[in-house]
């Protein structure tokens, strides 16, 4: 079983993807569930977790609709307004009967407030998320929010905290990499944290096994195979590489491990974290 733990769909016609502009080139179009299904099949990926691409209920509704019509969608990470602690239960109730809803997140890296995840109302919301058995994804966490991810894991120990894209390690900046490594290890010190080996492509930087070696070694040592999962970040990843190239590098790294460890990265961690079925 091979699961892509981080994949997006979107249709600009929904009018909620403000960040998708003509300057993004190949990303400035719709990416449908049917197209994703073919991409996954062509690369021998059995299932995927859809992850929100806009802070909007319309985006979440679209993902859940796609899941209803496509069995390869094993889970959905939808949007939740983290600051609306009073309305969190109502918002989650709206999707509560849909078992495919596996987690929530908010595009916190787009918010100018560096202290967003430290706010009391956010922590109250995350307690509600944990009570529902849902995971909480933190996108693009470094440099502002990776340390806060560790804080959340400590203060809400019943919550599974997912670090998307390994926090976005700054692979081309040696000094910043030292800070990233310290922070990612602090996150991993909490048993209720997991991380995605995904979204590691950078502009004007190599994307090869050798180029990712240090990041991979740190992540593997810090989390272990049973708290790491693989994701393509498709179609965002198309800016840097094809789906086959993106997943191929990850497959080469994982292929160095034992078969049980490979199974954890390909499906075990994702299945436990997101309560995947099917």
Q: What is the pLDDT of residues 112-150, one digit of tens each?
A: 888 999 999 999 999 999 999 999 999 998 999 999 999
* pTM metric for this prediction: 0.97
Report the b/e string of 40-58 with b at 16+ CB within 10 A.
beebebebbbbbbbbbbbe
pLDDT digits (tens, 9 = 90+) for 213-260: 999 999 999 999 999 999 999 999 999 999 999 999 999 999 999 999
CA-CA distance, 172 to 175, in Å (whole number)? 9
Tally of domains in the chain = 1
- pLDDT tens, residue by residue, 192-223: 999 999 999 988 889 999 999 999 999 999 99
DSSP conformation class of 10: B
* Burial of 111 from C-beta contacts in 10 A (0-12 / 13-18 / 19+): middle
SS3 264: helix
Residue 261 lies in a domain: yes
Phi, psi of 31 (to 5 degrees): -125, 110
Q: Is 240 inside any structural domain?
A: yes
Q: How confident is the model at residue 278 (pLDDT cuts 50, 70, 90)?
A: low
Whole-angstrom CA distances from 2 to 161, 216, 231 are 22, 19, 10
Position 166 pLDDT exceeds 90: yes
Asked if 77 and 52 touch (Cβ cutoff 8 Å), the reply is yes
Confirm whether 115 is domain-assigned.
yes
Write out the residue range of the structural domain in which residue 111 sits: 78-274
Q: Residues with Cβ < 8 Å from 206, sequence gap 6 or more?
A: none
Q: Is residue 202 part of a domain?
A: yes
Q: Is residue 32 part of a domain?
A: no
* DSSP H or E segment with residue 65: helix 57-69
With respect to residue 256, please indicate whether it lies within any of the assigned structural domains.
yes
Contact 229, 197 (CB under 8 A): yes
Q: How many CB atoms lie within 10 A of CB 103?
A: 24
Domain membership of residue 42 (yes or no) is: no
Six token digits for residue 238: 């198309």
Neighbours of 265 (CB within 10 A): 25
Q: What is the CATH number of the domain that holds 259?
A: 3.20.20.140
> Distance from CA of residue 236 to its chain's centroid?
12
């Amino acid at each position: 079983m091979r699961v892509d733990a981080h994949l997006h769909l979107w249709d600009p016609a929904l009018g909620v993807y403000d960040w998708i502009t003509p300057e993004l080139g190949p990303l400035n179009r719709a990416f449908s569930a049917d197209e994703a299904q073919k991409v996954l099949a062509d690369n021998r990926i059995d299932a995927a977790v859809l992850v929100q691409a806009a802070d909007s209920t319309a985006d979440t509704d679209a993902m859940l609709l796609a899941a209803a019509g496509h069995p390869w969608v094993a889970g959905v990470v939808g949007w939740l307004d983290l600051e609306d602690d009073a309305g969190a239960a109502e918002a989650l109730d709206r999707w509560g009967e849909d078992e495919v809803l596996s987690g929530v997140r908010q595009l916190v890296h787009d918010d100018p407030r560096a202290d967003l995840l430290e706010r009391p109302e956010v922590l109250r919301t995350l307690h509600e998320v944990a009570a529902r058995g849902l995971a909480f994804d933190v996108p693009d966490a470094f440099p502002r929010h990776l340390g806060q991810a560790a804080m959340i894991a400590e203060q809400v120990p019943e919550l599974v905290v997912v670090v998307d894209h390994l926090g976005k390690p700054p692979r081309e900046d040696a000094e910043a990499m030292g800070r990233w490594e310290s922070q990612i290890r602090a996150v991993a010190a909490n048993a209720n944290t997991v991380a995605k080996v995904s979204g590691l492509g950078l502009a004007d930087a190599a994307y090869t096994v050798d180029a990712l070696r240090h990041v991979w070694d740190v992540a593997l040592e810090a989390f272990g195979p049973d708290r790491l999962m693989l994701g393509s970040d498709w179609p965002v990843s198309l800016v840097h590489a094809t789906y086959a190239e993106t997943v191929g590098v990850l497959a080469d790294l994982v292929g160095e491990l034992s078969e049980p460890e490979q199974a954890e990265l390909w499906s075990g961690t994702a299945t436990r974290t997101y309560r995947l079925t099917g």
